[in-house]
Amino acid sequence: MDADDQGAALRWRGRGTHSKDKYAGRNNVLRDDRRRNPLHYDAVLAARSPFGELIVQGGVTSGLLNAVVAEDLPGPGTVFLGVEWRFLKAVAVGEEITASVEVVTVRDDKPICTLATTVRNAGGEVCLSGSAVTYTVPLTERKAD
Residue 90 has, within 13 A of its CA and on its CB side, a CA count of 15
* Full residue range of the structural domain in which residue 99 is found: 2-136
CATH number at residue 28: 3.10.129.10
In a domain, 143, yes or no: no
In a domain, 141, yes or no: no
In a domain, 144, yes or no: no
Report yes or no: 91 and 56 within 8 Å, Cβ to Cβ. yes
The 9-17 sheet, strands edge to edge: 2-6, 9-17, 96-106, 112-121, 126-136, 78-87
Q: Is the peptide bond before 74 cis (omega within 30 degrees of 0)?
A: yes
Domain count for the chain, please give it. Answer: 1
- Report pLDDT digits (tens) over 108-126: 999 999 999 999 998 999 9
In a domain, 116, yes or no: yes
- Report pLDDT digits (tens) over 35-74: 578 888 888 999 999 999 999 888 888 988 998 888 888 8
Strand partners for 113: 106, 134
In a domain, 114, yes or no: yes
